[in-house]
Amino acid sequence: MAVRKIKIHREGYRIILGVFVLLVGLNVAAWLLWPGLTLVHYGGLVVSLLFLGFIVMFFRTPARLVEPDPLLIYAPADGKIVVIEEVFEKEYFHDNRLQISIFMSPFNMHSNRYPISGTVSFTHYQPGKKYLARSPKSSLLNERSSVVVTSDNGTGVLIRQVAGAVARRIVTYSKKGEKVNQGDELGFIKFGSRVDIFLPPDTEVNVEMFEQVRASRTILARVI
């Protein structure tokens, strides 16, 4: 049976190296301060390896190929559905939109993907607070980055990366005017957060509340 290799996201290289150096330093310091092999030393080593393994797994980025389909809207992130409701979207569309929100725990893959193919027609970064990502007000008050992609058939979708209480940095690669493909990487959010997606109100929803979804795998909705 073939062994699947874990690909590490480029956003994680410096953090993983920094954590590795820090853990090595702490373990060496412990051995110098308390000479001799003890359960404390072994326990510290085990905890260090587990923590390093968690950091490495956090920055994993599996390859997920997508066959583009203009009638399908894929999940932009891994996580749990926490919002499905019609709201007034006031940042770009200024009309009623169907909002679907995905909460990402620190254990989810955190690479965000484009849910549709099209042209990036809007990008905006907004500094903000650090409310829990599960909170409805986090979408409007937290640090966030919004991207609008307009498909060739005129369907506009707003994807909003929202930082949570733990997230330390939102990375968005989108540039206004560029052509993007369904499943391409949109950005990355470090350490727990949420992604909101705003769709036309007549879109046919394909997921349910609290359902676990996967970026570029789960079909969120269908364009009618």
Same domain, 77 and 35: no
Query: Helix 13-33 and helix 39-58: axis angle, to 10°?
Result: 180
Query: Any catalytic annotation for residue 216?
Result: no
Tell me if 66 is assigned to some domain: no
Same domain, 54 and 91: no
* Model pLDDT for residues 201-217, shown as the tens digit of each residue: 999 999 999 999 999 99
Tell me if 50 is assigned to some domain: yes
pLDDT over threshold 60, residue 2: no
Are 42 and 74 contacting, i.e. CB atoms less than 8 angstroms apart?
no
Tell me if 207 is assigned to some domain: yes
Provide the Cα torsion 192, 193, 195, 196; round to 10°. 150
Number of structural domains found in the chain = 2
Same domain, 146 and 217: yes
Tell me if 88 is assigned to some domain: yes
User: Per the residue annotation, which of 146, 151, 193, 216 is the catalytic one?
Assistant: 193
* Model pLDDT for residues 39-71, shown as the tens digit of each residue: 777 888 899 999 988 888 888 888 888 888 999
Tell me if 3 is assigned to some domain: no
* Model pLDDT for residues 62-106, shown as the tens digit of each residue: 888 888 899 999 999 999 999 999 999 999 999 999 999 999 888
Tell me if 63 is assigned to some domain: no
Question: What's the CATH number where 209 sits?
Answer: 2.70.70.10
Same domain, 180 and 203: yes
pTM over 0.85: no
Same domain, 99 and 203: yes
Residue span of the structural domain in which 32 resides:
10-58
Same domain, 31 and 102: no
Tell me if 65 is assigned to some domain: no
Burial 98-125 (b: 16+ CB within 10 A, else e): bbbbbbbbbebbbbbbbbbbbebebbee
Q: Output 49 or 2, whichever has higher pLDDT.
A: 49
Strand order across the 193-199 sheet: 179-180, 118-126, 144-150, 156-163, 193-199, 95-104, 79-89, 212-213
Are 40 and 179 contacting, i.e. CB atoms less than 8 angstroms apart?
no
Tell me if 171 is assigned to some domain: yes
